[in-house]
Structure formats: C-alpha cells, structure tokens
Amino acid sequence: MTSRSDTVLTPERILDTAEEVLRRFGPAKATVLDVARSLGVSHGSVYRHFPSKTALRDAVAERWLARVSTPLAAIAAEDSPAPERLRQWLAQLGAEKRRMAREDPELFDTFHTIATQAREVVAEHLRILAAQITQIIESGVARKEFAPTDTAVAGRAVLQATARFHHPAHAVEWSDPSIDADYDAVVELVLRGLQACG
C-alpha cells in the first residue's frame, strides 16, 4: 500500500533530503536508508527513483555541479567581446567555487568527496565547462578578437591552465593572500596567448 509520503515523492525532494543527510552524516556513513527515514518513506520508494546508492550519489553530484555550470552557460552565450566574456566566465567559476567553500566548508568537502567518486559525472561536467570556453573562443576567432586556433583544444587548455583557481583539490590554496594576484597573472597570460597578433 502506498503512503501519502510516497505519492508526493519526487526526485528533487529525494535529492534535497540526500544533501541534508550527507551534511549530517558525511559521505562515508550516509545511506539510502537514512534518506528514506528522513523522508518518512520506505527505502524501496527511494530506489524506485534511484536504482542504487551510487545512482543517488551521482545525481547529487550532478545537481551540485550543474549549480556551477548553468550560470556559466549564460555568460558563454552572451554577445559581448570574447576576451571580456572569457574573463567574466573564469571569474564567475572561481568566485562560485570559493563562495561554496567559504559559506559551507563541510558540505563543500562532502560534495567534493562524492564528485571524486562520480567519475563519469565529473568527466561530463568538465566536458561541459570546456565546451563553454570553446564557444567563447570560437566567437572570438570569428570576430578576429582571438587568433585562429583549434578552439576545442584551446578550450580544454584554458580550463586546465586555470584549475588552481576553481578545482576543489586546490581549495586549501584559495585563502593564500597572493591567490588573486596569481589569478590575474594567469588570466592575462591566457588572454594574451589567445589574442590575434598585430
């Protein structure tokens, strides 16, 4: 027999609760049963939406990473000059990751742990980010703001070159007093490398 709780159970509600459970217990101890208990449903009800603990964790990681990539997509699609847009995109990526780490460090660490385990989800996230940079570079090449280049290779390279400022593995470095100056220097170097000669 289906309870009232089961009838209003949605993937979003499960993911909201899973985030809270992960915050409370940490990724090592949180279980699907804990999520089901918090929702007041059977664990079978959760499994109807997410067939395994791994699937649920992957969905949590995917949603967390989408909070980063979705606003960046809007920047990539703007019609402003490509150098200015790339600078804005990189600044937004770094600022959002730093904000998450600063405002809720425990949850940030939890999400980083989960994302590290969700390799396919992370690979897709990195593909999305690189594609957004590629989109910006392509428009810059078309407008002769950037030199002709293999834009897909350049997109991946820019993401890798700036990893220190947005990859969670470097979070411990983000409180370094020199981080902003280092960031500015790297971005200037990247932009100079992309810009058309003469």
pLDDT digits (tens, 9 = 90+) for 126-180: 999 999 999 999 999 999 999 999 999 999 999 999 999 999 989 999 999 999 9
Domain range enclosing 140: 61-194
Look at residue 2 and tell me whether its pLDDT is greater than 80. no
* Ramachandran bin of 25, using left for φ above 0, alpha for ψ from -120 to 50, beta for the remaining angles: alpha
In the prediction, which pLDDT does 1 show?
A: 38
In the prediction, which pLDDT does 156 show?
A: 97
Instruction: List the helix and strand counts (H, then E) for the chain.
Output: 10, 0
Kindly state the tokens that stand for 11.
Answer: 């993937």
Look at residue 29 and tell me whether its pLDDT is greater than 60. yes
Same domain, 143 and 168: yes
Same domain, 96 and 180: yes
Same domain, 41 and 94: no
Same domain, 164 and 75: yes
pLDDT (tens digit, 9 = 90+) per residue, 47-71? 999 999 989 989 998 998 899 999 9
pLDDT (tens digit, 9 = 90+) per residue, 169-180? 899 999 999 999
The CATH code of the domain that includes 20 is 1.10.10.60
Contact by Cβ (8 Å): 105, 172: no
Q: Is residue 156 part of a domain?
A: yes
Residue 75 pLDDT class (50, 70, 90 cuts): very high
Same domain, 13 and 79: no
Same domain, 138 and 183: yes
Tell me which residue of 152, 151, 174 sits closest to 162, measured CA to CA: 174
- pTM of the predicted structure, to 2 decimals: 0.86
Domain count, the chain: 2
Same domain, 108 and 30: no
Q: Is residue 56 part of a domain?
A: no
| 3-state DSSP assignment of residue 166 | coil
| 3-state DSSP assignment of residue 146 | strand
| 3-state DSSP assignment of residue 195 | strand
In the prediction, which pLDDT does 196 show?
A: 64
Same domain, 41 and 70: no
The CATH code of the domain that includes 99 is 1.10.357.10
In the prediction, which pLDDT does 64 show?
A: 87
| 3-state DSSP assignment of residue 84 | helix
Q: Is residue 167 part of a domain?
A: yes
Helix intervals (H) in 41-149: 43-49, 53-76, 82-103, 105-117, 119-142
